[in-house]
Amino acid sequence: MAVIHHTTLKPTKLELLTDWLPTRPWYVGGDAPVLEKSGGFRLDDPEGEVGIEFMVTTDTSSPERTAYLAPLTYRGAPLEGAEHALVGTTEHGVLGKRWVYDGCHDPVLVAELLSLIDGRAQAMAQSVTDTPDREVTRSCTGAPLVPGTSVPEPADDEDGTRLPAGHGLVLRIHRVLRPVAENPPLPPQGALGHLATGWQGPDDTRLRAVLMTLHSA
**Is residue 5's pLDDT more than 60?**
yes
Under the phi-then-psi rule, with left for phi > 0, alpha for psi from -120 to 50, and beta for the rest, what region is 167?
left
Alpha helices in the chain (DSSP H): 13-20, 107-117
What pLDDT does residue 121 have? 94
Full-model pTM: 0.93
What pLDDT does residue 141 have? 86
How far CA 104 is from CA of 87, 114, 160, 172, in Å, comes to 12, 11, 11, 11
What pLDDT does residue 117 have? 93
What is the pLDDT averaged over residues 112-125?
93
What pLDDT does residue 123 have? 97
Report cis status (omega within 30 of 0) of the bond before 184. Answer: yes
How far CA 8 is from CA of 4, 93, 128, 191, in Å, comes to 12, 5, 16, 40
The gap from C-alpha 29 to its chain's centroid, in whole angstroms, comes to 19
Max intra-chain CA distance, the chain: 46
Q: Name the amino acid, one letter, at 147.
A: P
Report how far residue 193's alpha carbon sits from residue 214's, in angstroms, rounded to the nearest whole number.
5
Give residue 15's pLDDT band: very low, low, confident or very high (50, 70, 90).
Answer: very high
What pLDDT does residue 7 have? 72
What pLDDT does residue 149 have? 52
What pLDDT does residue 96 have? 77
Report how far residue 49's alpha carbon sits from residue 158's, in angstroms, rounded to the nearest whole number.
32
**Is residue 145's pLDDT more than 90?**
no
What pLDDT does residue 1 have? 56
Among residues of the chain, what percentage have pLDDT more than 70?
Answer: 94
Alpha helices in 97-178 (DSSP H): 107-117
**Is residue 176's pLDDT more than 80?**
yes
**Is residue 150's pLDDT more than 70?**
no
Spans of all domains in the chain: 9-216
**Is residue 142's pLDDT more than 90?**
no
Mean pLDDT of the chain: 91
**Is residue 148's pLDDT more than 60?**
no
Lowest mean pLDDT, pick from 53-57, 97-101, 105-109, 150-154: 150-154
What is the pLDDT averaged over residues 45-64?
95
What pLDDT does residue 217 have? 80
